[in-house]
Amino acid sequence: MPSEKFDRTTFRHQTAKEASHQLKYWQTKSYEKRLEAANYLNSVAYNFDVNNPPKMDKSFFKIKSRK
């Protein structure tokens, strides 16, 4: 799997007060809206369509029973 690099130049530094305002803003949103935002940010960071995310390769995992 190729190593992807996250573009850190698009972000800006915040003061603690600015970050606190962001926290309060996101705490007013429902968990569904927060998950939608996180999904969108992941799609931008990893360059995939938000409505068609990549599928997980399930052939890597094996099911074993415990005895």
Which amino acid belongs to residue 35? Answer: L
Give CA–CA dist 17/2, Å, rounded.
37
In the three-class reduction of DSSP (H, G, I as helix; E, B as strand; rest coil), residue 50 is classed as coil
How many angstroms separate the first and last alpha carbons of the chain? 34
Mean pLDDT of 45-67: 84
pLDDT-derived band of residue 1, with 50, 70 and 90 as boundaries?
very low
pLDDT-derived band of residue 58, with 50, 70 and 90 as boundaries?
confident
pLDDT tens digits for 9-48?
A: 766 777 888 877 888 888 999 999 999 999 988 998 888 9
